[in-house]
Amino acid sequence: MVIIMLGAQGTGKGTIAGIISERTGWPQISTGDIFRKNISEKTELGKKAEEYISKGELVPDEITVPMVVDRLNQEDAQKGSILDGFPRTTEQAEKLDEILAGLGKKVDLVINLSTPKEELIDRMLTRRVCSNQDCKTTYNIKLNPPKVEGICDKCGSTLKQREDDSNPDAIHKRLEIYDKQTSPLVEYYNNKGVLRTEVVSAAINRMGKDVAEDIIKDIKK
């Protein structure tokens, strides 16, 4: 089963994907992790990706999509996988569908997370991430604080605030860009009948773990 997580930063898609991964055994796959792995292993695709990343440019689809598909073909992803934040455009979605079809696979479920904008901004301003790249556990000092302030519960490393999470104006801009890029993608998957939209908001007392539990129940039916 191939699941795609959609949602602006702060909606909790990484957290929800992590819970589903833990409960199902399916890997949580993000393009950032794939890039770092290929670059560290000095694969041909990794070398090409690094050329763009080092210049601060977006990695082209002809490099990104094959990397994702290669990851989906690895042994631990054969029964299921969760794509966290990919694809980001309809062009990527179309290419992914085409390649998956050639492998006898398809996108089975797309989880689209929605959270009120002001709540998203507050979440990002109060988000902290483990500095250990092998851990990267995410916390929120209001909603999900660590047991010891500034220290990761899982590995004991220092927590940090991402640079792009400290500026409200920059966060506004990122959310606007995300909305513009993603609305066609939401329509694309809705037309295919695989879209499931979930509202994640403290205002209605429905958080990421609640959404994750409901999805896991449906997957296991």
Q: Point out the catalytic residue in the list 13, 95, 128, 136.
A: 13
162 among known catalytic residues: yes
123 among known catalytic residues: no
206 among known catalytic residues: no
23 among known catalytic residues: no
3-state secondary structure 17-56: HHHHHHHHCCCEECHHHHHHHHHHCCCHHHHHHHHHHCCC
Q: Point out the catalytic residue in the list 37, 106, 160, 162.
A: 162
Q: Point out the catalytic residue in the list 71, 105, 123, 127.
A: 127
Q: Point out the catalytic residue in the list 88, 117, 196, 206.
A: 88
196 among known catalytic residues: no
Rounded distance between C-alpha atoms, residue 29 and residue 49, angstroms: 17
Rounded distance between C-alpha atoms, residue 28 and residue 156, angstroms: 22
Rounded distance between C-alpha atoms, residue 17 and residue 33, angstroms: 14
Q: Residue 172: CB partners within 8 Å, gap ≥ 6?
A: 121
Residues involved in catalysis? 13, 88, 127, 162, 174
